[in-house]
């Protein structure tokens, strides 16, 4: 169970698909460096830092605006068409929908070459790994815990 959990955490794939050498390398690094943890402010601090930096340099982020498709011209992105039909011009469009939904639904297959499409068609969706952390007022198990 631990191997499966760590495979999901490290690689976002099942344990039977995890390369043993990579699993050993990552586990060793974590044990030697005692370096597992979260950034100050939680995992949300990472995307928030990206947003802050982008906005400091004149960029604009539309986080909760549903789009219908990404508008593409001869030289790349032109902007996005919103679900309500409005258009927002942009020099750069960044999608967090995942590669397959971005290529096949938001942009469209017609904007890519066969070699790239074959590669994307061959990709498999990864798994996710989650954890629930519960804070208790007092220990419920005495004398047990992880020791590195």
109: confidence class by pLDDT, cuts 50, 70, 90: very high
Tokens 């992105």 sit on residue: 77
Sheet containing strand 87-89, strands side by side: 67-73, 76-82, 87-89
Q: Among candidates 120, 2, 101, which has minimal Cα distance to 10?
A: 2
- Helix, strand, or coil (residue 68): strand
Q: Among candidates 95, 35, 45, 42, which has minimal Cα distance to 70?
A: 95
> How confident is the model over 61-78, as pLDDT tens digits?
877 888 899 888 877 888
> How confident is the model over 24-56, as pLDDT tens digits?
888 888 888 877 767 788 778 888 898 899 899
148: confidence class by pLDDT, cuts 50, 70, 90: very low
Chain centre distance of CA 10: 13
Higher pLDDT, 112 or 124: 112
């Amino acid at each position: 169970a631990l191997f499966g959990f760590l495979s999901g955490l490290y690689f976002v794939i099942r344990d039977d698909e995890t390369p043993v050498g990579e699993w050993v390398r990552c586990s060793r690094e974590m044990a030697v460096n005692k370096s597992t943890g979260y950034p100050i402010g939680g995992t949300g601090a990472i995307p928030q830092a990206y947003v802050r930096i982008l906005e400091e340099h004149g960029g604009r982020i539309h986080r909760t605006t549903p789009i219908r498709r990404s508008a593409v011209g001869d030289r790349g992105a032109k902007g996005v068409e919103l679900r309500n039909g409005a258009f927002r011009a942009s020099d750069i469009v960044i999608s967090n929908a995942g590669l397959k939904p971005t290529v096949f639904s938001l942009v469209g297959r017609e904007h890519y070459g066969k070699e790239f499409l074959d590669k994307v068609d061959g990709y498999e969706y990864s798994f996710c790994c989650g954890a629930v952390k519960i804070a208790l007022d007092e220990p419920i198990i005495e004398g047990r815990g992880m020791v590195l």
